[in-house]
Amino acid sequence: EALNYLNHCYEYMPHNIWDVYYELAFSLYREFAEILYLNGHYEEAQKLICLALEKSKSSFEQTELYALLIIQFTMMAKYEEAIFTGKKALSLLGVDLSLTEIDKVINEEIYLIKNMLADREVVSLIDLPLMTDIEKKQIMKILSYIAAPSYYSDKKIFFLVSAKKVRLSL
């Protein structure tokens, strides 16, 4: 039902929708791409996402679209592509997911976590405030999305992603 509805919306969109109704165009393309890949129309979804990436005005919007690609690639068991897409999304948010010398990078993350924890009791972590920064929440979302493909393709990347999530949470 949603696919039919969005098909009609897409069919009757004005050719200049991105110029005249930018927010509506972005929402429609994002939703339509999501519905398409959820219904197994992966190629069509990727085309819409790529078009929306070209038209998007902010890096935050681009990361929203990359998130859809990460999920889609994961569903298709294209784990390396999902991770690569996640790296691109994270770089737009100022996060480097360096996979060279990964053991060293993991150890650095663990060192930072230990310093942040210092002498705190684990129980005290529950008193930390909720994350409210939209950019940090977006980083957590992207890291969460690439956790599954990294778990299946490379455990070291999974450890790195997990450590980054812990550090960001602290």
CA–CA gap between residue 65 and residue 27 (Å, rounded): 10
> How deeply is 141 buried, as exposed, middle or buried, from its count of CB atoms within 10 A (0-12, 13-18, 19+)?
middle
User: What average pLDDT does the structure give for the chain?
Assistant: 92
Residues 121-160 have pLDDT tens digits of 888 888 888 999 999 999 999 999 999 999 999 999 999 9
DSSP character for 58?
S
Report the pLDDT value the prediction gives residue 145, as an integer from 0 to 100. 97
Which amino acid is located at 167 in the chain? R
Report the pLDDT value the prediction gives residue 91, as an integer from 0 to 100. 96
With cut-offs at 50, 70 and 90, classify the pLDDT of residue 10.
Answer: confident
Which is more confidently placed, 14 or 139? 139
Residue 120 has pLDDT above 90, yes or no: no
Residues 27-68 have pLDDT tens digits of 988 998 999 999 899 999 999 999 999 999 999 999 999 999
CA–CA gap between residue 27 and residue 22 (Å, rounded): 9
